[in-house]
Structures are given as C-alpha cells and as structure tokens.
Homo-oligomer: A and B are copies of this chain.
Amino acid sequence: MQKRRFIEKKLRFVFESYGYHEIQTPTFENLELFTAKSGEGIINELYSFTDKGNRELALRPELTAPVMRLYVENLQMKAKPLKLFYFGNCYRYDRPQKGRYREFTQAGCELIGTDSSEAIAELISMAYQLLHKLSLQNITLEIGNLRLLSLLFNYLGLNDDQRSQLIPLIDKDEYEEVRSLLDSFALDDTKTQWFLDVLQIQDINILTTALSSVKEVSEHLTRMQEICSFLDIHLDDFPYRINLGIVRGLDYYTGVVFEMKAPSLGAEKQILGGGEYDLISLFGGRALPTAGFALGFDRTLLAMDEEHILFPQSSLDYYVIPITSEMREQAFKVCRILRNQGFLVDVDLMRRGIGKSLKYANNQNARFALLIGPDEFEKGFLILRDMQQGTQEELTYKELSSLRKIPK
C-alpha cells in the first residue's frame, strides 16, 4: 500500500500540473452502458448481476464509458476544454495471471472539447510524463492513427469484410499472415509490399515521404506531423515511434491512438493505452471531440519492481517503551507530544519487558526507541536509543519538545 499510495500521489500531481480535475464515478453502472460501447460480447467478460430492484447492473470493466456517461448527464455545460482524471477499481471476469487480475486499478483521463494538434500532443506528452515521473526507464511509446489506416484501406480498395479479417492480424504483428491475406484478396504485389513497408515505418518524416503520393491522406498526415513537432518539445529526446499497425482492439477509436509498454513485463507489457474516440453522441450528448487514455496501475507497479526502483519508505520514527507500569501514563504523554510534532509514533500496548519491546520496535523498523524509566523520569530525562546504531543517549524533556521532522 505504501508503494501504491506513492504512485497515486505522483500520478495525481502530474495530472494536476496539466490542469486536469479529479472525478469519481460509482463502482457499478447499468449493464447497457457497456454493451452500448462494446457490444453484447462484453457480457462474457463482465461481472454483471440483477439487483433487488430488477436492474441489470455491471461492475465497471473500465472507466471511459462511466466518465462519458457522467459528462453527458451532468457536465455538458462546463467550459471547454474539460480535463478530467480519475483513479478507480475495475472488474473483468478474466483468467487471472501476473499483471492481469479480476479486480484491478486504472488511472486515466479524458480531454473533452478539442482535437487541435497541440491538444493531442499535450495528452500524449502527459502520458509519457506520468511514467517518466515514476522513474521508469525501460518503456516505449508508439503512436498510430486509425483514420490514416482506414484511408489507406480505401486507397488499397479493401471492403469492410476484408478490413475486419485484416485488422486482427495487424494487431498481432503477424505480417506474414497479412501478406498472405492481401495476396488472397488479389491485391497487386507492389501495393502489398508498399503497405507492409508502411506498417514498419517508425519515423514521421519517413512516413510523410512514403505516403506523399497518396493525396487522400495528406490532411491527416499533416496533422500527424504537427502533433509530432509539438511532441518533440515535450518529450526531449525520448525516442517515441510511429506505428500505423496499432489498432487497439476496441472499435470506438476515431483517430490518433497510442500505447506505452514496459517490455520487461513480457506478455502483459502494455501499461498505458488511449486515443481519440467518440462516445458522447452514442450516449445522447452533443458530439464533441474527445480523447483520453488509461494506465494500468498494477502493471505499472510491476514494471517499477522489475526495474528495482526504490520507493521512499515511511517507517516508524519513535517506539516508546515504559520501563515500569507506573511509567505508562508518562509514555502516553510522550507519544502525544511527538505525534503533535508530526512524528510517526508507536508505544508498547502489550506490557512487555524492555527486551521484547526493543525486538518489536526493530520488527516495526523504528528509527529510535524512547525508554521511559522512573529514575530517569525523576531526573527529567528519557533514554533515546538509535535502533540502527545501537547507541543510547539521554534526552531532556525540553529537547523532546524541540524535536522536529522535515516534511516530505
């Protein structure tokens, strides 16, 4: 929990530094909210149930639909752009494995009301900053564009059925299968090879050259270039990549999409994903450009552990030990003084002897023990024991009252 709260605090600070506002939605929603977004098939992956009022409910599998439902119901009148972020537990009836749990935590955000290049670039840069501020090094950022991909499909003359056969293969990076499928569509060899080459391009300038002859995509290509040049300002020299092969399984994305991965996690390496989408009109609101992303909290923590990132520890400052039963009230007074000064303080509540108390203090990782004995009390001091060094010194009550702690 200390690690989780540390991550949460860091992420919250990044969201807020970009002008985002935190929101919360209920743990369960009407089932139809999720079937409207993702189709009836999603019911198999959901915890859904009928409540005592005969409503079909579902524990939320993700937070974008709930947030957009909240937007349509309550926030449409707010000034735009509206920048919202959240932390929330989500639930999927899935086979549990490392980095994939039935209950998991997502952090994420939605940007409502603008699709300017700088807006999308800022969103992607914030995604990068979230992981960067957690000290993660071994991460990748890839940016795709479903609108561009769709225009390329047009250019290749593929029909809807052909596209839906192709997309899962592209999603899984199975390029040999993509080639065979395109061959089976009787696409000419040059075009097939050209398309496969385009899918491999990782640089916006090379992409621009490669697509220069396809005038149908020029508008969206220019937008991608703009986004990339804004991104360059934000990301320093972080080597993000263009990848037109990102299709993100979900079918509600409409334009730019992006993913961040921690390759150290193996099969479950994706830790962040998002893009431009439209849900507002589906939920009955006035259509506006929207984009957002979600970050898998549990996988992020796993990725940090893989990189052996050390978290700041918050351990006990003082463990107070009354040496005799008469000193118990005195020990409580000392606790009170120290807690009021902002220290983390515990005290023997088991009426143990000094030896066992010191052992417990050690077990609790206390930095100091404070021993309160009747003789010392009479003379006006306590014994301060450094638990790491094993050294002891006398501490007057005046010194006790002037102990200070540097706030985190």
In the complex, A229 has a CB within 8 A of chain B? yes
Separation of A243 and B332 alpha carbons in the complex (Å): 25
In the complex, A71 has a CB within 8 A of chain B? no
Q: Is the interface of A mostly helix, strand, loop or mixed?
A: mixed
> With contacts A1-B22, A79-B363, A344-B19 known, is A234 near B336, CB below 8 A?
yes
CB of A345 within 8 A of CB of B17, answer yes
Instruction: Choose among B19, B51, B122, B349 the residue that contacts A81 (Cβ–Cβ < 8 A).
Output: B349
Binds B, one of A113-121, A142-150, A189-197, A271-279: A113-121
In the complex, A163 has a CB within 8 A of chain B? no
Q: Which of A308-330 contact B (CB under 8 A)?
A: 314, 316, 319, 328-329
CB of B19 within 8 A of CB of A350, answer no
Instruction: Choose among B17, B27, B103, B343 the residue that contacts A103 (Cβ–Cβ < 8 A).
Output: B27
Shortest distance from the beta carbon of A80 to any chain B beta carbon, whole Å = 7
CB of B364 within 8 A of CB of A79, answer yes
CB of A91 within 8 A of CB of B27, answer yes
- Cβ of A329: which chain B residues have Cβ within 8 Å of it? 229-230, 233
In the complex, A10 has a CB within 8 A of chain B? no
Can you tell how many copies of this chain the complex includes? Answer: 2
Separation of A351 and B119 alpha carbons in the complex (Å): 10
- Cβ of A91: which chain B residues have Cβ within 8 Å of it? 27
> With contacts A59-B27, A103-B27 known, is A333 near B89, CB below 8 A?
no
In the complex, A24 has a CB within 8 A of chain B? yes
In the complex, A172 has a CB within 8 A of chain B? no
CB of A333 within 8 A of CB of B233, answer yes
CB of B349 within 8 A of CB of A16, answer no
Instruction: Choose among B23, B44, B47 the residue that contacts A1 (Cβ–Cβ < 8 A).
Output: B23
- Cβ of A129: which chain B residues have Cβ within 8 Å of it? 339
By a beta-carbon cutoff of 8 Å, the part of chain A in contact with chain B is 1-2, 4-5, 12, 16-19, 21-24, 26-28, 44, 47, 49-52, 59, 79-81, 83, 89, 91, 93, 103, 111, 113-114, 116, 118-119, 121-122, 129, 229-230, 233-234, 314, 316, 319, 328-329, 332-333, 335-336, 339, 342-347, 349-351, 360, 363-364, 407
Separation of A23 and B407 alpha carbons in the complex (Å): 23
CB of B51 within 8 A of CB of A346, answer no
- Cβ of A407: which chain B residues have Cβ within 8 Å of it? 407
CB of A314 within 8 A of CB of B16, answer yes
CB of B79 within 8 A of CB of A347, answer no
- Cβ of A347: which chain B residues have Cβ within 8 Å of it? 19, 118, 122
Shortest distance from the beta carbon of A143 to any chain B beta carbon, whole Å = 17
Shortest distance from the beta carbon of A7 to any chain B beta carbon, whole Å = 13
- Cβ of A80: which chain B residues have Cβ within 8 Å of it? 350
Q: Which residue of B lies closest to A121 (CB)?
A: B332
CB of B103 within 8 A of CB of A350, answer no
Shortest distance from the beta carbon of A12 to any chain B beta carbon, whole Å = 8
Shortest distance from the beta carbon of A105 to any chain B beta carbon, whole Å = 9
Cβ-closest 6 pairs across A and B: A19-B346, A49-B49, A119-B349, A1-B22, A17-B339, A79-B363
Shortest distance from the beta carbon of A217 to any chain B beta carbon, whole Å = 23
- Cβ of A28: which chain B residues have Cβ within 8 Å of it? 47, 59, 103
CB of B103 within 8 A of CB of A364, answer no
CB of A233 within 8 A of CB of B17, answer no
- Cβ of A5: which chain B residues have Cβ within 8 Å of it? 12, 22
- Cβ of A335: which chain B residues have Cβ within 8 Å of it? 122
Instruction: Choose among B4, B22, B364 the residue that contacts A2 (Cβ–Cβ < 8 A).
Output: B22
Q: Which residue of B lies closest to A329 (CB)?
A: B233
